[in-house]
């Protein structure tokens, strides 16, 4: 089985941005980080989609 996304979006740059309230490394919220291990693959895929949108939005600033 080939995984669509890596097991976790964490890239070991764990610092929360005060303005966006997102991790500067993985672009997840603290809530998403906290529950990540309990989510199923569909739920993780939804967050990966949000991460993509967040990265795009941040790159346009």
Is the sign of the CA dihedral 56, 61, 30, 17 positive or negative? positive
pLDDT given for residue 1 in this prediction: 46
Express each pLDDT in 23-53 by its tens digit.
999 999 999 999 999 999 999 999 999 999 9
pLDDT at 19: 95
Q: What is the pLDDT of residue 3?
A: 54
Q: Please give the Cα distance from 18 to 1 (Å, whole number).
A: 38
Between 29 and 61, whose confidence is greater? Answer: 29
Quote the pTM value.
0.86
């Amino acid at each position: 089985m080939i995984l669509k996304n890596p097991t976790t979006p964490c890239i070991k740059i764990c610092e929360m941005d005060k303005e966006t309230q997102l991790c500067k490394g993985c672009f997840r919220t603290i809530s998403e980080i906290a529950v990540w291990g309990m989510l199923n693959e569909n739920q993780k895929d939804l967050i990966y989609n949000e991460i993509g949108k967040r990265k795009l939005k941040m790159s346009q600033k």
